[in-house]
Amino acid sequence: MIYLDYSATTPVNKQVLDSFNKVCLDYIGNPNSLHKLGNDSHKLMDAATNQISELLGVKSNEIIFTSGASESNNLAIFGVLNQYTSRGKHIITTKLEHSSILAGMNYLKQNGYTVDYVKVNEDGKIDLDDLKRLVTNETILVSIGEVNSEIGLIQNVNEIGEYLKNFPRCIFHVDGTQAIGKKKVDLTNIDLYSFSGHKIYGLKGIGCLVKKQGIELSPIIHGGKSQTIYRSGTPSL
């Protein structure tokens, strides 16, 4: 069989798997433990975090590790809405999003939020005029995927983010799961950026949410110290 479904998932890279096995065997300490094994693990976690932050052009304390892009998307959406409850109940997204976005929007519509779906042009790009018509001072969140997972549409998320700067109370989330590793990404005008490891030859069960400084999130997983205050659980080193 010839496997071509790389947008769904990629095979793990052998170097990644070798690194994973080495860490599991040689760095057995909880990174949050105070003994030597824990300290060694914490140093390795910091080094990996710094490497990722440098690749993305963001600060290391803006990296939040998750279980995957679906969790990252949910943390972005519900973390913002629960943190900034006084800002409004208006959200903008598209009909092109992953189910981890759209299912959350359906839930929110049933719980008092207004969700508008911005139109797209004939080429599949966001209709910026329609977006400008929809955004108001009550808009708390705009969530738009950078690359569509099924037909490969690429949205100009930085142009969208640049416009949204006119609304400082509105937070811009981008699902970059299908963009990472396939195109150069620029997070300059993006507040929150989600992606997953298994789309880029990594292991399943690991993802990331980039949260820019100045943005606060209410955690959706509570309890215990971790790599960040925004996501509890023993770090998956």
Three-state secondary structure string covering 64-108: EEECCHHHHHHHHHHHHHHHCCCCCCEEEECCCCCHHHHHHHHHH
Return the pLDDT at 224: 75
Return the pLDDT at 225: 74
Give the H or E element holding residue 130.
Answer: helix 128-134
User: Would you give per-residue pLDDT tens digits along the chain (237 residues)?
Assistant: 999 999 999 999 999 999 999 999 999 999 999 999 999 999 999 999 999 999 999 999 999 999 999 999 999 999 999 999 999 999 999 999 999 999 999 999 999 999 999 999 999 999 999 999 999 999 999 999 999 988 889 999 999 999 999 999 999 999 999 999 999 999 999 999 999 999 999 999 999 999 999 999 999 999 877 899 999 999 999
What CA–CA distance (Å, rounded) separates 15 from 33?
Answer: 28
Output the pTM of the full model. Answer: 0.95
What CA–CA distance (Å, rounded) separates 30 from 24?
Answer: 11
Q: Name residue 114's beta-bridge partners.
A: 90
Residue 117 CB burial class (10 angstroms; 0-12, 13-18, ≥19): middle
Instruction: Name the residue among 207, 234, 215, 177 with its Cα closest to residue 72.
Output: 207
Task: Check: CB of residue 92 under 8 Å from CB of residue 120.
Answer: no
Return the pLDDT at 149: 86
Instruction: Name the residue among 101, 190, 104, 189 with its Cα closest to residue 148.
Output: 101
Q: Provide the token pair at 11.
A: 């095979």
